[in-house]
Structures are given as C-alpha cells and as structure tokens.
Amino acid sequence: MTGRLAVVGLGPGSPAQTTPEAAAALAAASDLFGYGPYLDRLKPAPGQRRHASDNREELARARAALETAAAGRSVAMVSGGDPGVFAMAAAVCEAIEAGPAAWREIELDITPGITAMLAVAARAGAPLGHDFCALSLSDNLKPWEAVETRLRAAAGAGFVLAFYNPISRARPWQLGRAFEILREVLPASTPVIFGRAVGRPDECMIVTTLAEAHAGQADMATCVIVGSPETRLVERPGRPPLVYTPRSSGRAAR
C-alpha cells in the first residue's frame, strides 16, 4: 500500500520557467504539500488535496508528506526554484533516514527546477560564467563562524559567490557582516547583483559594487551574487550593464 512522493521544483516564479516534467508531476498528484505561497501559484486540479504549511516547518512538512505517500497516495511536495538547492529535497531525505523503514520503500522522484541564482545571473549577463559557490547566509542551521570561514575561503580562492537566505526579520545583520568580510578580501569595485523575484511582476534587479552594496538592498526573496576579482561590467547605451565572469582566468591564454 506504498504510494509515491514527487519533490518538484517550480523554478523562480514565472510559469514559463517551470519545466514540462515539473508541471506533469504536479498534475498527476492526489495531494500537494508545500509552503502556502508556492501552492498559491498553482491552478487547482479537481479532487486534488492541498496541505499548505508555514515556511519554517520543513521537517514536519516532509514527514507529513511521507506519511501520506506511505498510506498509498500520490504526493507532490512543491518547492520554489530547485528542490535540491537550500530547499525541500534535503529535508525529505533527512526525514526518510530518521523515519520508519517503510518510508525507504516509497517511490521517490525529485524533479529539478531553475534555481534563483541561475535566473538572476541570466538577467544580469553571465556572472556565474566561471567557478562559483552557492552559500546560505542563514545561521539557523549552522554556526555563523562556519559562514565566515566559507566566505573567506571561497572569495579568497577566486570563486564568485551566490547568497541564498541573505536576510530576514530574525536575521537582520548577517548580510551586512558578510559584505564587511568580503571588503577585506575583494576589490571595492567588485560587481554585486541583487536579484529579487525574477520573472514575477515585482521583479527588481540592482547592479552595484561591493563598496556601495548594503543589506537594505535585499529581502527574503532576494538572491545576491558577488563577483570575483575577474568579474567585469560592460556598459550599454540605454540598457542595463552586462555583468560577466570570463571563461578564462589568471595566467592562462585566452
């Protein structure tokens, strides 16, 4: 009597950026679980049950979805962006590992999606065109010292950085502190991009420099990209500048 669980990435917001595979997985589900605003993006299908939950209850939501799948239902867990990047897929795996043996027999399908940094990068040019890191600035689930260590290591070694969870009401100072640390390591002219709600009506893109970037330019729905010393800005008449990181680096021939 074991059902199935699809963990589905919607992409950053526009339905045009949701893959056909993801749309099919959602349409086939008897039960949809997810953070309320993500479920609100979907057209209801007849007979489909919705189980909306709060943003902060990831593990409880994963367990509820697995229980429902184990009872024989066809469940979809809805995630914004890509479910594997700071989202629901890890919470589901964690719940399976800690849960009853029967949960390991559930048919589990994870459907990738366009994650926020890719959508933001595409709007700006190609800031992730060479080696880069994705880093959550939240210290809810790791010590802040680990964030500082990773910031220094990655920026010092020449990676471009993409920040997820840059700021929230409960975490107001972390992004500003991250910029302070990076100003010790990177040139003041390093391009910084704030990309908010890309593909949605309230989309907002800001391109600035590390010297001028400040935490007030981000909110919970923002992905922040900080360039490497090689990241370049190309001015264009009547259009926003392009930000890109060259494919070649250092001493190697172009």
CB closer to a second copy, 5 vs 32: 5
3 lines the binding site for a second copy (CB under 8 A): no
Q: H-helix or E-strand containing 109?
A: strand 107-111
Is residue 171 involved in binding a second copy (CB under 8 A)?
A: no
* Nearer to a second copy among residue 75 and residue 128 (C-beta): 128
Minimum distance from CB of 108 to a second copy (Å)? Answer: 7
CA dihedral 142, 147, 148, 154 (to 10 degrees): 150
Say how far apart CA 64 and CA 92 lie, in whole Å.
10
Distance of closest approach, residue 86 Cβ to a second copy, in angstroms: 7
Q: Is 110 in the site for a second copy (CB under 8 A)?
A: yes
CB of 61 to a second copy, least distance (A): 13
Q: What's the residue count for the chain?
A: 254
Side-chain half-sphere CA neighbours of 170 within 13 A: 6
CA 124 – CA 101 distance, rounded (Å): 46
* 251 interacts with a second copy by CB under 8 A: yes
What minimum distance in Å lies between the beta carbon of 219 and a second copy? 21
Amino acid in the structure at residue 58: E
For residues 52 and 242, which CB has a smaller minimum distance to a second copy in the complex?
Answer: 242
By CB under 8 A, is residue 135 in contact with a second copy?
yes
Amino acid identity of 241? P
